[in-house]
Chains A and B, each alone.
Chain A
Amino acid sequence: MPLPLTEENAEKGFCAVLACTGIGAATDNCDSIRKELIRKIVPESMLDTYSARLLACANTVCGNEPYRWTVVKEEPAIEDKTTFDDLWNGWFIHIVFE
């Protein structure tokens, strides 16, 4: 039984996706990193593959238990000024469906 795609559950899924990429501060919620720039949080040597890491995590986290949502295979575009809030609004809510 898939988890209903509510705003609350989607927030949990989003934080789980970020945690999957290796951000420990996102394990409970994403409050401490919402306003942060992605370019600042991600070490330089991992930045060029971070979009692919996010999609790989969205697929494996949200496509499986307990979420089981449909995930569109779209990598996010990460610009110099992209924050994790931008990632939520501009990417995550567009790639998950009930």
Chain B
Amino acid sequence: MKVAQIFFAVVAVILLWPTRVRAVVFDTENPFELVKVSRDGKTAYDIRCNYQDSLSESERNEVRSPANWKVIGTRSNYEVLSAGLGLGNSKQCVLKGNWPSDDDLSVSFENSAIYKVKKGDVGNWSFGQGQPPDISIRRLTDERSLYAVDYSIVLQPIQLTCSRFGTNVWIRTLGLSLMSEGTIGSSDSIRNGTQTSFSFEVTPFYRVDGIMYRGSISVGYGIETKAGPGEPSFLTVLNKRAALGVDVEVPLSNYPMFKLHSATKYARLAMPLTLRFNFLPRGTDGAGNITLTRFDFKAAYELAFSPYFILQSKYHTSHFRGDLASGLHNATYSSFSIAQDLDVVKRSLGFLKLILGSDDEIANKSFIYFRISSGRDSPTFQNVHEKSIGLGTTF
């Protein structure tokens, strides 16, 4: 009798148990945050929620219903216009409404607990971005005792991303950029020199025929030095001056390579023809002498046919204005490089890892290249004709 009573009690409990035994469980650390989004081409602020477990279909429908949500501000309560879900494994949802970004917002779902909305990345500042430096070491083929190290470092310590989204143009403004590049060689016969600048940049992006291109306008201050064993100091200052620069990526110039890569599946970003114009007003050298005003024009282009066959060419020209009595005259420089992605060779010839290091050490990025360069180029404007073979993370 007692067993029967217990059995019926258990059955009754099961039958009468509320059908909704589960509830949406929000993340404990960061349940709700305000995020900046693009909606119909304009900036808006949505509330992103983070939940813990995957949702059942009925729970997904509950989350999608705006009526189940309340958004409470200090100045007003706000209507939730719509609620959407992210992909299944993102475990996120988003609430859309017309609340301002500067109100302190709280959220309640199905009249349960009230959660404070954290202000996520709604500000425009970001700090300390940058890429690992690119370094290559090369040996001049004509004179085997001569070696040179080329380096390039870009850091973006502060970025004010006053981004404006439109249908086709996205503008990121005011990035503070620190850039240094140069060559340090074992002899004065190599074009030893460094260029370091600190600049503010405005960066518009524009989409043409499905591919994104970038421009940039920069204003800054820079130092050019001559480096090398023959100098009185290791880094002799040649020019300290302000600089105005404009970068343009020529739309559609990478389209043939883009189409070739889509056919061959060779995965390297098809690089557009890149043009750069620099205006450098008069500055001073390390001894305090006035340096000449200079206009630079630079062009770079790359054709990447396969991992074994990447061509890159560069053309630079510099024009001086003022008294050229010091021996300076307008200069041109050109270089032509043939490079091969060494990672492909490493995959097939395992013993090369003993020489070049493991994949982790050089992050699977290494090139071997042959370069012919000729002419006079900033910062030293030394006339050289070099053929070199090199190895590095760039070429």
Contacts and interface: CB of A to CB of B under 8 A. Distances in A.
Interface of A: 5, 7, 10, 19-28, 32-33, 36-37, 39-49, 51-53, 55-57, 59-60, 63-64, 70-75, 80-81, 89, 93-94, 96-98
B90 A93 contact: yes
11 contacts: A20-B211, A23-B261, A40-B365, A41-B267, A41-B268, A45-B274, A52-B203, A63-B41, A71-B38, A94-B90, A97-B93
Contacts of B165: 59, 63, 73
Contacts of A27: 262
B168 interface: yes
Given A41-B269, A44-B152, A52-B203, A71 B300 contact: no
Given A44-B134, A45-B274, A81 B170 contact: no
Contacts of A19: 210-211, 262
A20 B255 CA distance: 11
Given A37-B363, A97-B92, A74 B121 contact: yes
B325 interface: no
A97 B343 contact: no
Interface centre among A20, A22, A27, A57 (most CB of B within 10 A): A22
Contacts of B43: 73
B272 interface: yes
Nearest to A7: B87
Contacts of A56: 170, 205, 207, 212
A24 B268 CA distance: 8
B394 interface: yes
Contacts of B243: none
Interface string B195-229: 00000000101010011101000000000000000
Nearest to A49: B214
B267 A93 contact: no
Contacts of B269: 21-23, 41-43, 46
Nearest to B93: A97
Given A48-B154, A73-B165, A43 B38 contact: no
Contacts of B41: 63
B338 to A, nearest CB: 15
A22 B267 CA distance: 10
Interface string B55-84: 000000000000000000000000000001
A39 B269 CA distance: 11
Given A22-B271, A43-B269, A72-B94, 17 more contacts: A5-B87, A19-B210, A22-B254, A24-B258, A43-B268, A45-B300, A55-B170, A56-B170, A56-B207, A63-B39, A72-B35, A72-B46, A81-B363, A97-B84, A97-B92, A98-B85, A98-B86
Nearest to B86: A97
B132 A80 contact: yes
A-B interface, 8 closest residue pairs, ranked by CB to CB distance from nearest: A24-B261, A24-B262, A56-B170, A27-B262, A24-B258, A33-B267, A93-B90, A32-B265
Interface string B138-182: 000000000000001010100001010101101010000000000
B267 A32 contact: yes
A26 B130 CA distance: 26
A23 to B, nearest CB: 5
A10 B167 contact: no
B134 A25 contact: no
B169 to A, nearest CB: 9
A24 B271 contact: no
A10 B123 CA distance: 27
Contact of A22 (B92, B211, B363): B211
A63 B161 CA distance: 19
B49 to A, nearest CB: 11
A97 B91 CA distance: 11
Contact of A21 (B85, B212, B264): B212
B115 to A, nearest CB: 19
Contact of A73 (B37, B92, B93, B134): B37
A56 B169 CA distance: 8
B70 to A, nearest CB: 20
Interface centre among A52, A72, A97, A98 (most CB of B within 10 A): A97
